[in-house]
Structure 1
C-alpha cells in the first residue's frame, strides 16, 4: 500500500534526475537569497553553474547547527517573512534555539510526507491517530497532526503527558495508531498495566515512535507490551520535522524520501564522504524547501545507508536505525559509547526493565561509568545471590560489547524517573 505510488517507486534513474534538477534550483535560490551561502560559496570559488551532477554536491560546504545559531533568528531564510506562514524552533537547551520557517508550500509538502509515512505503517483514513508528541515549537506534534489530517484519518491531538487521560482516551476513542517517543510509549504500557488494561483487547495496530534513539530489543518490548507493530520515524526540526524518513512494515530501515532530501554519510572526524553501508554521520541537503533550505546539513546522527531494494517495493534508500549522535556520544577512557548500545545489552537478559541511567564520573583523573538498571518485578524478590549473579553477567556482557568496564547497579522497579517526552539516559558528573 502506497500514499503516492509514482513518487515512492520511481526508478533510480528517474529519482536521480529529479534530485539533480531540484538541487540546481535550490543552489540558485540560496545563492541569490541567503547571504550566508553566497559568501560561503564565493569563498570556495563556487557558483550555481558549478553544480552539474550529484557528485558535485560534495564540493559544497557543510552547514552546522552553530551556523543556524550564528544567524538567529531568521538569517538563513530564503524568502521574505511575508511568505513565512509558520516558525518552529528547537528546545534551545544550550544557547539560542535554532529557528526554522515554512512557506505554505513547505507545510503542504510536510503534510504529504507525513501522510506517506503513516501509510508505511498501514494507516488509512479509517484510522484513529492518537498523537502524543508535544505540540508547540517542537515539530513533532503539529507535523504528525497535519499529515494525519492530510491522510483523512481521525486525529486525537492529545499531546504529551497526563498519562491516565491518554489511556482513557485510547480506550474510549478506539485508538488504532499511537504516535509518541518510544520511552513514553513504554511508560504508557507500564501505567496501563497498573490500571489493569489489557492492550490485546484494544484496537491498537501500530505505533510510530521517534525523536530519540531506540533499539530492536526495545521494539520487541513495545510490541509485546502494547500488542502493536512498532515502527521508527526519523526527522529533525532543522530539515523539516518528523517524516524525513520512515520505516515500512518490513522493518529493515527507514526510507528517506529522496525526492525531497539528498542523504550522505560522512566520517564525522574528517568530513570525508563514505560509501554505502559504512556507518558515519548523516548529512542531508533539502531540495524542495522554500523558506529554509539547507545545504549539506550535519545532523550529528550516526547511521548508515542501505541502497538495496526493499521488498515493500519502495525505491528510496533506507537509513538504518540511528545508533546515537556524534555530539551526544560519550567518550569514556577513549572509548565511544552510545546509550542505545547499553540498552541493547540490558534487554538481552529479560531480567531487567528497559529503564536505565548512565552515570559518568571522574575519579583520580579516570572516567568511570556506572549503569543503573531496574530489575524486573519477578527478579526483585529473588535471593541476593541471584541478583549478584545477574549483576556479574551484565557487567561481563557490557565489557564485551563496549570494550570498557562499568559498574552495574541494580535498582528496584520504578526507581528511575520516567519521562513523558524524551527519556533522560545520561548523567555526566565529570568536570571536563
Structure 2
C-alpha cells in the first residue's frame, strides 16, 4: 500500500528536524541496534571481543569513534566462510523475505538479506530521496536502471516507487535503447531514472529510433545515480537540454540500503535525509579520523544502520569520496549536502597528487563540442600510484582535421594540468571508438 507524503514539500517531517532532535533519536536507536547486534550477530560478537568493545557501554553517536570500522572485505570473508548470507546475518532464516546483490563492480557481489520491516525501511529511505528529486505520487516512470542480477537499482527501486504511489514501467537498461525509447514514446511516462551517462546516451539515440528528440517525449523530471556524474554541470546540462526535464542526483549503496541521499530543487548537492534510520559519518580515508561535515570538507562516507534487522552494519566504510556543498538550504531541509566525486579505491595518485577519473571527465566534457565527452584512463602501471604522466584516451568529434585534433590534444593536457596539477598524455580516437554505457556502470579506468 502506498504511503502519503508528510506535506507538499517534504516526504517526511524528519527532513526538517533540528540537529539536537536528530541526535537524540540517533543515540536511542544506536543503543537498540547495538543490543540487537550483540544478541544476534555472530560476526559482530566476534568483532566486539577482538577489539575489547562492550556494546552496552556505548551511549550514543559520540561514542562511535571508539568502535571499529566494518570493511567490505570483512563482509566478503563472512559470506565465503558462512554461506549463503554470512555470519553478519542477524535474524533466523524464517524472517528473511528478500535477498539483494550488489553490482559486483569491486569484486564478487555482496548478498544482503532483508526482513519485511527492512524492506519498509529501505522504501522510506528511498522515498525521501526520490521525493526531494521531484518524483510525486501519481507520476509514471520509465525504469532505466538495470533490472537483472538482483541489483538494488532493480526491484528495490520498484518497491520504493510503489510505496510512493508512483507507477513504474520496469523495462530496465538491459532491454537496450530501442526498447526503452519505444516504450517512452508509446506510454509517455513523465519521470525517468537511471545512471547519468546511460540516460544521456538514451536521449542521443531518440531521433534515430523514434524519429523525435528526447525533449518531445514527455519527461518532466529525472533522477540519476549509480555512478559519479549526475552532479557535474556539464553532464547535468546535457541531460536537461536533451530531455527538456529537470535532472537531480541521488546516492545509495546495497550494503546499507538502496538510496538515501537526495538532491532538492536548489540543485547544489544531495541532502542527508534520514538521521532516524541511519548514521552517516565523514572520515579522513587515510587516517580514519572524523571530519566535521562543514562546507568544503572532503572525506569518505561511513554508515551505521539504525532500525535494521537482517544484515545490519556498524561503521561500514563505503569508499565513496564526497565533498560537502552546504549545511543549510533554501528548501528547508536540515541535513547537510554532498557531491560524490568518486570512490576512494578508484582514486589515482600521480606524482603525489590525488586525482579522481570523474574530475578528468568533467574537464573533457567542458571541451565539447570538440570532444564527445567520452574518455578513459588507461593506466600503464600496477596499483594506484605512478610517477609518470597519466595516459588518457579521449574521443574527438567528427569533422576535426589534423590541426584541430593537435590543438585539442594540447588543450586537454593543459586544462588537466592547470585544474588538477596532473600531467597527462592524451591519445585522441574517433567518435564511437569507446564503449557506450548500457546497464553496466561506466568504468572510467580501463586496465
TM-score scaled by length of structure 2: 0.90
Find the aligned partners of 1:400 and 1:307 in 2 and give their Cα distance: 26
Find the aligned partners of 1:332 and 1:189 in 2 and give their Cα distance: 35
Q: Over the residues paired in the alignment, what is the CA RMSD in angstroms?
A: 1.9
8 A Cα contact 1:300 1:325, kept in partner:
yes
Residue-pair matches, total:
422
Compute the displacement of 1:368 (Å): 4.4
- SS in structure 1 opposite 2:331? coil
Query: Residues 12-411 of structure 1: matches in 2 within 5 Å?
Result: 12-72=19-79, 73-92=85-104, 96-135=108-147, 136-161=149-174, 162-195=176-209, 196-214=211-229, 215-241=232-258, 243-256=259-272, 257-277=274-294, 278-305=297-324, 308-318=327-337, 320-350=338-368, 351-362=370-381, 367-376=388-397, 380-411=398-429
Q: Which range is displaced more, 5-14 or 133-142?
A: 5-14
Compute the displacement of 1:409 (Å): 2.1
Find the aligned partners of 1:30 and 1:402 in 2 and give their Cα distance: 44
Find the aligned partners of 2:13 and 2:228 in 1 and give their Cα distance: 31
8 A Cα contact 2:282 2:292, kept in partner:
yes
Runs of at least 4 residues of structure 1 off by over 6 A? none
Find the aligned partners of 1:58 and 1:166 in 2 and give their Cα distance: 46
For structure 1, list consecutive stretches of 5 or more residues without a partner in the other structure: none
Compute the displacement of 1:410 (Å): 2.3
Compute the displacement of 1:168 (Å): 0.7
- SS in structure 1 opposite 2:153? helix
Instruction: Summarize the Cα distance change of 1:29–1:125 in structure 2 as closer, same or farther, 3 Å threshold.
Output: same
Instruction: Summarize the Cα distance change of 1:389–1:200 in structure 2 as closer, same or farther, 3 Å threshold.
Output: same
Instruction: Summarize the Cα distance change of 1:178–1:125 in structure 2 as closer, same or farther, 3 Å threshold.
Output: same
- SS in structure 1 opposite 2:375? strand
Instruction: Summarize the Cα distance change of 1:22–1:130 in structure 2 as closer, same or farther, 3 Å threshold.
Output: same
Compute the displacement of 1:317 (Å): 2.4
Residues 368-388 of structure 1: CA distance to partner in whole angstroms, max 9, x if unpaired? 422222223xxx324322221
Residues 320-342 of structure 1: CA distance to partner in whole angstroms, max 9, x if unpaired? 21111111222334332211110
Instruction: Summarize the Cα distance change of 1:190–1:18 in structure 2 as closer, same or farther, 3 Å threshold.
Output: same
8 A Cα contact 1:265 1:304, kept in partner:
no
- SS in structure 1 opposite 2:378? strand
8 A Cα contact 2:324 2:339, kept in partner:
no
8 A Cα contact 1:235 1:244, kept in partner:
yes
Q: Which range is displaced more, 137-146 or 301-310?
A: 301-310
Find the aligned partners of 1:149 and 1:5 in 2 and give their Cα distance: 17
